[in-house]
Structure 1
Amino acid sequence: MKERNYHYGIDLLRIVAMFMIVVTHVLAQGGIRKEVEGTFDLYYFVTWLLQIAVYWAVNAYALISGFVGHRSRYRYSKIIELWLHVFFYTFLFAVGFTVLGKELSLTDWRNALFPILTGKYWYVTAYFGLLVFMPLLNLAIERISNRDLGRILVIAFVGFSLVPALFNNSIDEFALDRGYSSLWLILLYLTGAYLARKDLKKLPSNRILFLGYSLTVLVSFALKSVVGNIWFWYTSPTMILGALCIFIPFARMKITNVKLQAFIKVVAPTTLGIYLIHLNPLVVRFLLRDFAKPFTNLPILAFLGMILGASAIIFALSSMIDWLRLKLFDKLKVKGLSELCDQHFPYDVKD
């Protein structure tokens, strides 16, 4: 496969970012953040430095969408495929936990049957909004110069990110909701597309970018503590800069190791499934809620090791489950069936 069609560095970033997302959920849903809150001891500092150090991942994942998506041919079947992917897990877990004797409410079943519209996975719901408008965004990206796109993005991030953070003031009218919104994903999508059209070799070296990322972690931690939580939100200027500092090295990475290429090709397609599995509301309620609280009773190095180890186990198990789901969908020809929509409703751009 030609590299212009398959970017190993970007798909490796997809894998790394999803592992970091799992770490954030072990800290949050696992109960560690709540357990150390207000203690201001070594466990508090390690927890929050780690939380901030991995929080760039969601922004980076959204940047990937624009980096690769703006070149892709738009298909309405993408919406169907996303819906089926999400529904598969929400319905499967609802049935599975019912069989195991867990009591589910009517609201649980409603959420299982209409997972995207009920917002049980905030990223998928926000991404659905992005997906609907993606053809219009791609058309605009194609027509606008990179210089003007860059200027628009600077204005957007100054107004939507920098100024609100400096004044510690969330502007509700922008409807950014701390970054849990379609609008925020749209801005990151446009940023990813902008980076795809830049000569990334001319940007700062990886060493400088890593130092920059390290600085954003320390600044985010300090300003969160002194100013407010707005510096910890996805829309925080330091969170955006941190994501860019991680994103750029992967975007210009050349991977030639055959074994690593094979690993990436197997695991990268399962990353969304990893998110859908471990953050399923019922999985969180019945399996993950506060499971990691006892980690805080361990020595500090063991504490850190247990967080990363638990995250690795959740990541690996979820990846294997979604790999099986991919095989099942292939057997059932789900992709081909969803693409029937494209035959009847082809997307076409007039010259």
Structure 2
Amino acid sequence: MANMECVLAPHDAGARWPWFVGLAVERFEKWCTALKPSHTEQGLASILPPLDVLMVWHAYLLNPGCYAEDGIRVKALEGLQQAGEDLAAALGHGLSESISADPSNTRIHNWVEMTSTPFDPFQSAEHLMSRDILCPKCSTTVQAPYMTVEGTGYLQPGFSLTCTRKTCQFTITPETIRTPTNGFDQRRGQVIKRVILRALSLHLSESPLSEAARFDSVMTSADYNMDAVRQMLTVSMNDGKFIDRIMSAYVDDKIFSVELIGAVLRQGSFVTKMHNFQWTRPAFFDKFEEQIALHHIIARYHAFMELMSSSPGTFLVPTLDIDLAWHTHQLMARQSLGRGAPETLVSGFS
């Protein structure tokens, strides 16, 4: 990092939004891994994160299958799971007012105490300059700047970093960075590793090897490149969807099963359409005739879910009104499943 000139923000206007979202994801990770179930006892309003972090949380919740699985396997996300239930319960019951109101001193204090960063995202940007990552080859901790003049920062498309360990000097790129096998993700890492090793057994030496040796053999032959591992898996396994699910854990070095920067950016188009229709305007659906429209939307959503259930092999695209109901339902996925929602209706939920 000493040889790289760090920059605070990209000069290109088109790159600023992805950069801002990237920092929001970093802030979300700091917050949700520090959040404990006991924090929720203070009430949701006192622990609500800043708006940029809420945006990331919302995108994460819109992947309910991954969100629920992560909450089960990653102990550090227990507090987030409890807060998510409180968030869903607050939908239509004061959540909008809590978000719109000026943050209370308690809310700001809790945020700063948990993340050691300012509540305001723009002030926080002045503090967030780099993150620690693990070299995928030797597991040395390396400091990666978020932005560099050369365009090789962690939040830039050309991310590239050389391991600082003299005996390693491995080049870390988006293709080689991966979820660490220690820290928060041991259980899933072990499961995925065993699946990969079984699938790749035909491509390894016939001599008996320990699991650790076989793993090292796989990663060495793939040059620690997860795209190469995917290609090797494709040769041995016919289930592309299963491969995608396995490899989703290795999109980046975070503990989440969802690549959150991309998830937020993909939501941008939907939010823009909702805004253009004025459906996000406060009190838009308060009128009686507009509430009737909501009932029609919900009925159409139920019909769409039944259609999905009866046509599992068909790719169906919802209309915007149905998509709005779907998004809302996804935010309440855990409550819905807890009430015994038929599995056939939620098989395509996430």
| Greater relative contact order (Cα < 8 A, sep 6+) | 1
Fold conserved between structures, TM > 0.5: no
Instruction: Tell which structure's C-alpha radius of gyration is larger.
Output: 2
TM-score if structure 2 supplies the norm length?
0.28
Instruction: Give the TM-score, by structure 1 length.
Output: 0.28
**Greater helix proportion:** 1
